[in-house]
A and B are shown apart, each in its own frame.
Chain A
Amino acid sequence: MIKQILIVEDNEDNSLLVEKILAYYGFGTTVALNGKSALAYCSSHQPDLILMDLSLPDMDGIEVARLLRENTRYQKVPMIALTANTMRGIQERAQEAGLNAFLTKPILPSDLILLIRSYL
């Protein structure tokens, strides 16, 4: 069965890139362009893994992750942060909110796939 991955990413180019890579490696993808649509999608569907950009137009990606973790259905779903933010401390904050891993942009396709495969 094809694994479904939710990509939360506001930048179209970047979401396109991630979709392309994941599709190439045989994953099913859905893109949410902001926090609200991500939460809405999650309430009706059950993705196997979530790739979360941390700076979204409407809310903080970390906040989205925390809200998802409060839901019993999402307590075990792997979540990977993808961000261009390199400020110190953000990685720790992400970890506290329940994100499993952290990738700094720019990402390499090989790194991303390696990380996803370690969870799925």
Chain B
Amino acid sequence: MQIQSRQFARDNKLFACIQCGKCTGGCPVSFKTALNIRDLIYQILATGRQGFEVSGIEVLWDCTTCNTCTARCPKEVSPMDVVIGLRGAVVESGRIPETVKVALESTFRQGNPLTFPREDRAAWAKDLELKAYPDGAEWLYFVGCSPAYDPRVQKVARALARTFEAAELDFGTLGVEETCCGSETRRLGEAGLFEMLVEDNTELLQGYGVDNIVTTSPHCYNTFVNDYPDQGMEVQHYTQVIAKLIAEGRLTFSGELDKAVTYHDACYLGKHNGIFDPPREILQAIPGLKYVEMDRSRERSLCCEGGGGRMWLEGTNIEERLAYQRVDEAIETGAEILATACPFCLLTLEDAVKTRGKEDQLQVMDIMELVVQAL
């Protein structure tokens, strides 16, 4: 499977590249696998009038789409989108990893990449008696696939719903009508399916006249804000909403949490969208909590390796998971809890703690789980 090099280079503004190497030099994956995006860009440019062969480039699937390369490129090239574009060509050829195929098919049929039935999407909230958004609510709580189905992340969704109720935020959900936002579909290169999801979701949301959306996942947040056509809807990640509720005095704590906590910046909040402060504001507002910062934080944060479809891909070097490094960095700060605000980070980091046998030193929790403990 070949791409037309010149056209691809023009579409992705690759002629602007000066081969400075900043993309590869900051890529967290380049240090552990053979993925070298600067080199790939050069190869595409160098094939000139010929085509560029994409099949067999296994390292394409290593990229976590953490956005470090794109955020730092001095010439405003987006190396990350080059990876997504090349994946697209591979997807078109059909020669994709089996796990990806399963995730994409499940997204198409069941509206989630996790192979769960569509009709079970609201099961996480069975006993909560949440308002249905169509009955009228100020905010649509867009739950997302992992929080709806994954037993570990369901706890986050439940904590968030409880907190919203405590703050008397008027919110509702779409229940089983909610469908995958398509974030990971797009990043796996399945542009056609993503387009379909955008159309379905746009129709659904517009149909209910949705004005305000709050998401559990930074990935849903990002895709609504940056990948969907602008529909005049206000989309916020939960950390923004909760931080504001605290600042306005609508959410108060009566409990305490006597723990040292550090925060892991999710790429799709931080590096993609510059949301660094709200998560920290929430943690620092919890009484008794001792907040510590890791050396690599904010713009220099290390990706956990769970984005860009990597929840369904092992990559070419599983021995050196970035999440392992991240867990070590968290332990180095003396923190007892590594907090995050992203379902993928939560799962990936918790898995790393278990694999490394560090459960007695570090606990991985979502910010919302800490918040409900202190309500």
Q: Do A and B bind each other?
A: no
Binding site for B on A (CB under 8 A): none
Binding site for A on B (CB under 8 A): none
